[in-house]
Amino acid sequence: MAAPAHHPETAAERLIARSITATWLLWLIGGLYIAGPVIGWVLTGMVLLALYIGRKNIAAIPATIWLWHAGMAAMLVILWVGHANFSLGTGQTIKSSIGWAKGWALIALFPMAGAVLDVRLCVIARAVCRLGMWTLVMLPLFLAAPFVGLPEMLYVSPLKAVGGPGPEYFATILYTIEPGVGTPRWQFFAPWSPAAGMVAVVYVFLAAQERDLFWKVIGIVGFLAVAVLSQSRLALVAMVALVPIVWAVARVNRAPVWFLAAPALLLVGLFASDLMTFADQMMSDFSSARADSSRVRAALGRIAMDRWEKEAFWFGHGIVENGPHLVEYMPIGSHHSWYGLLFVKGLMGALALAVPLSVTVAVLLWRARLGALHRTALAMVLILVLYSFGENLEILAYLYWPALIVIGRALAFRDSSPDDDPAIAEDTADDVPDALNAPPGETARASSL
């Protein structure tokens, strides 16, 4: 009897599926921050082994993947230059290099794994839905905790001894109390609430690719609950904005979309002034919804930009520094990938991310019409773009890494024909139900990008 389509059939699929499903267990022991980099480097070992023994062809790896590797490798070199410029010492340089291996490096390693290894979208989607089920099981505990007297933080795992950005990455936190408001807010298995919102958006889009209606509903509902209870404004904006964008881009070559777009564009032109006013009001409401947070974020950005321009234009300051009392001593450039990059790694660091990210967006915008895999990957990279203005992408890579695998897989294939490679049948063909039981293939036809 054939195995179900979602059943992991390769070592990489088993590692990925079991790691996603075990998220809550890893959270309980404070091991999520450790698990993400370990998974990334283990998958890299699998990639190197597959290339060494000839199961995969290095020439078939798309140029966009190599561009990501070049950009993230440049981050390490830029880091060394910044440390040398400010004489930060060998010990600090080694520590920062280890931090690079647990952050920026993962943003290149996971797409490479997705491009080279046989990992199907349906396997990732089912694992996410199973995690959504366990999230719904855990939800009553989180909701009841602030009202029955349970402490906000249960404990900090001793695993924090391995080192990390802060204790919150190893803490088991049930809820937090919003300053100035006094209401509870939840962050679930993320280090803070907006990060939980980001992961929730990623997982909602991945769960939507599940073929079984029961599991799809479980996954979507579970992570919609996370998005809402995290009270992340950006998460709600992302979900509302990205669905129509991805839908429209994926169907840009279909006549009905143009027939719908024509009157819509006409109305936009006619009511442009009113729409601008409405947009300004929405932005004002967005900021005032959490005014203190918006004020701190804006101040962190201004400090980062001012010190970047005056002190370290090309290669940055090398390390993160805490800001003054005005920003509650938060790290300068935090809550914003671009401000953070400019402050820590200068203009060269910002370009090292901007170039591969822009090329990836362009490639996936073009390929979104090809099938479910490419549409999902487009949603993933647009989430990264959107959240680059609200989070530091490298510090959360250990949480959203499944998105990077999907992006890498989509970059590796130029078309959606299920007859070309049985491994991508269920990923890319919406109307071929028999392909759901196809096993992963041994080879992949990669594009020049």
Q: How far apart are CA 33 and CA 98, in angstroms?
A: 13
Distance between CA atoms of residues 241 and 243, nearest Å: 6
Instruction: Break the chain into its structural domains and give their ranges.
Output: 16-280+312-437
**What is the three-class DSSP state of 176?**
strand
Distance (Å, rounded) from C-alpha 387 to C-alpha 382?
8
* Spatial distance between the Cα atoms of 425 and 284, rounded to a whole number of angstroms: 46
CB of 287 closer than 8 Å to CB of 294: yes
Q: Are residues 225 and 135 in contact, defined by beta-carbon separation less than 8 angstroms? A: yes
Please compute the mean of the pLDDT values over residues 107-131 and round it to a whole number.
96
- CB burial of residue 293 (10 Å; 0-12, 13-18, 19+): middle
Non-local (6+) Cβ contacts of 151 within 8 A are: 174
Exposure string over 117-140, b if 16+ CB within 10 A, otherwise e: bbbbbbbbbbbbbbbbbbbbebbe
Query: Strand pairing of 184-185 and 176-177?
Result: antiparallel
pLDDT in tens, 353-364: 999 999 999 999
pLDDT tens-digit readout, 183-226: 899 999 999 999 999 999 999 999 999 999 999 999 999 999 99
Mean pLDDT of the chain: 84
Whether the full predicted model's pTM is greater than 0.75, yes or no, is: yes
Q: Give pLDDT, residue 285.
A: 53
Instruction: Give bridge partners of residue 173 from the DSSP assignment.
Output: 153
DSSP codes of every residue in 430-445: TT-GGGGGPPPPS---
Kind and range of the H or E element at 185? Answer: strand 184-185
pLDDT, tens digit (0-9, with 9 covering 90-100), for 51-106: 999 888 998 899 999 999 999 999 999 999 999 999 899 999 999 999 999 999 99
